[in-house]
Amino acid sequence: MDPNSIYKDLRDKIVWLEVKPGSTLNLTELAGHYGVSRTPIMIALTRLNAEEWVVRNGVHFVVSPLTIDRMRELTEIRSVLEIQANIWAMNRISQEGLIRLREIREEITALTNEATNRQIVELDLKFHQLLYKQTHNNQLAQLLERLLSHYLRFWLSGPHKIETASFFEEALEMIQAIETKDEMLLRAASTSHIKVSLDMIMGITKNFSQP
């Protein structure tokens, strides 16, 4: 297994909390799990460290903890970059992109209260990934997707059930704004979406540690 595949697998496990925040990653155990030497593991962990999925603690790597300050920092960056990205997506979206956006709206409206937090978060990720791609700026799309993936861990760590209608209210407004090319509505809905995300996470993350 090559280092890039190991990196992707470990990153996904970290994002979806299959490897918990604060967990120590043992190079020897990981090498045995992936059937490789320690070198590909070290290469993958070094990349994860550069993207802040893990932090180095002496000779060990530890999965980045979830802290209130980290969540606030991510929110500030999203507030600057994501709103402009959404506007670019509105102006650059393809016909195929519009079709996929409407399909996502149908998926959102079809969600029931029985949907799990992971199902809700996966659909939110799908929605944002589409908008990021429609900016037609690969560097920006990759950066924003990584930021959002960090954000997802906060959602999934909460002990409470995410309320579907409240969670997607602004997303539906954003879809409407993109369809009608209403920049003012898109700015307002995007800003509100990020703020509501922060407020909701603050409400379910009382046990997050301070750095």
End residue of a domain, out of 33, 63, 93: 63
Alpha-carbon gap, residue 179 to 105, rounded angstroms = 12
11 within 8 A of 44, measured Cβ to Cβ: no
Gap between the terminal Cα atoms of the chain: 35
* 148 and 53 assigned to the same domain: no
Helix axes 68-92, 138-157, angle to 10 degrees: 140
| The pLDDT value given to residue 211 | 42
H or E element, residue 114:
none
Question: Are residues 102 and 197 located together in one domain of the fold?
Answer: yes
Residues 157 and 125 in one domain: yes
Report the length, in residues, of the chain: 211
Residues 6+ apart with CB under 8 A from 59: none
pLDDT in single tens digits along all 211 residues of the chain: 899 999 999 999 999 999 999 999 999 999 999 999 999 999 999 999 999 999 998 878 999 998 888 888 989 999 999 999 999 999 999 999 999 999 999 999 999 888 998 999 999 999 999 999 999 999 999 999 999 998 889 888 877 788 888 889 999 999 999 999 999 999 999 999 988 877 777 765 444 444 4
d(CA 177, CA 25): 44
54: β partners: 63
Whether 209 is covered by a domain: the verdict is: no
| Domain endpoint, select from 20, 35, 63 | 63
What mean pLDDT is reported for the chain? 90
| 133-144 per-position pLDDT tens digit | 999 999 999 999
Whether residue 145 sits in one domain with residue 85: yes
Q: What is the DSSP letter of 25?
A: E
Residue located via tokens 């090498």: 31
Q: What is the pLDDT of residues 70-113, one digit of tens each?
A: 888 989 999 999 999 999 999 999 999 999 999 999 999 999 88
Q: How far apart are CA 193 and CA 170, in angstroms?
A: 5
Residue with tokens 């956006």: 101
CATH of the domain at 193: 1.20.120.530
Torsion sign (Cα): 132, 122, 195, 15: negative
Asked if residue 13 belongs to a domain, the reply is yes
Helix (H) or strand (E) holding 97: helix 95-110
What residues make up the domain containing 159?
68-204
| pTM of the entire predicted model | 0.87
Q: Is residue 36 part of a domain?
A: yes
> Residues 155, 17: contact at Cβ < 8 Å?
no
Cα angle, residue 165 at apex, residues 177 and 152 outer, rounded to 5°: 85
**Final residue before a domain boundary, out of 28, 46, 63:** 63
CB within 8 A of 181, min separation 6: which ones? 90, 91
Say how many C-beta atoms besides its own lie within 10 A of residue 68's C-beta.
Answer: 16
Q: Are residues 74 and 177 in the same domain?
A: yes
Q: Between the CA of residue 115 and those of 112, 128, 156, 163, 165, what are the distances in Å?
A: 6, 19, 13, 9, 11
